[in-house]
Structure 1
């Protein structure tokens, strides 16, 4: 599959999920990275009108787990989030945030993924590490 086909496949798999609800859109994929964007609207705000940290984590985990699933044979195994660690570094009220996930370590039974979420001015909003467990598909 080429990059466009991969992006389309995972966007289609996201229909009727939290990913679609938050309007997360996959934008680029490569050998060891995946990128997406998410609009910052009241739908993803906390009560004070700021981007909810949980929404940032949804974007981060979406990127990290999808990237791991791109890297493995999904007919035999699936990647699922096991541990997420996020640092919320800057507030955001509106506009768009852009997430970029890269592989730190690709092991046989787990992957460590780094995700940076930035604003339109390339300022870091959230920095996240995600550990994914790689499990047999018959466990799902």
Structure 2
């Protein structure tokens, strides 16, 4: 199995030229049942009133949750895709960095439930999210 540093580099490479890259999301830690990343809070992710856009938080959460599910699958035959996102935006953020941490709640055969917490530099909870991923056959070709 690939070590943590190489796995994070692989995730970052896979994310080039995607929304993940556009929002400057950077994977920071990976383990058997977790994945973490950070995202800078700049005008790029603000809503019109200068606050972190809830949609940007959801992008960070779904990125972590989907990538974690796919890591758990470790399969060439199936892929995990987001099916339902439930997010609670708990605290505003105008600048700095947010840190997302995804963990497995339930790993089933046809779906995974992932919990994602997004916190600020002071460990204050900004967004709390649950993501359900459907496990579907991978289309070849």
The offset of 1:139, in angstroms, is 7.3
Which residue matches 1:11?
Answer: 12
Conserved? CA contact 1:50–1:92, under 8 Å: yes
Q: What is the CA deviation profile of residues 19-54 of structure 1, one whole-angstrom value per residue up to 9, with x for unaligned ones?
A: 000000000001100000000000000000000000
What is the alpha-carbon root mean square deviation over aligned residues?
1.1
State TM-score, norm by structure 1. Answer: 0.98
| Structure 1: tracts of 5 or more residues without a match | none
Which residue matches 1:135?
Answer: 136
| Structure 2: tracts of 5 or more residues without a match | none
**Partner Cα distance (2:47, 2:69) in 1:** 29
State TM-score, norm by structure 2. Answer: 0.97
Closer/same/farther in 2, CA of residues 132 and 117 from structure 1, 3 Å limit: same
Moved beyond 4 Å, runs of 4+: none
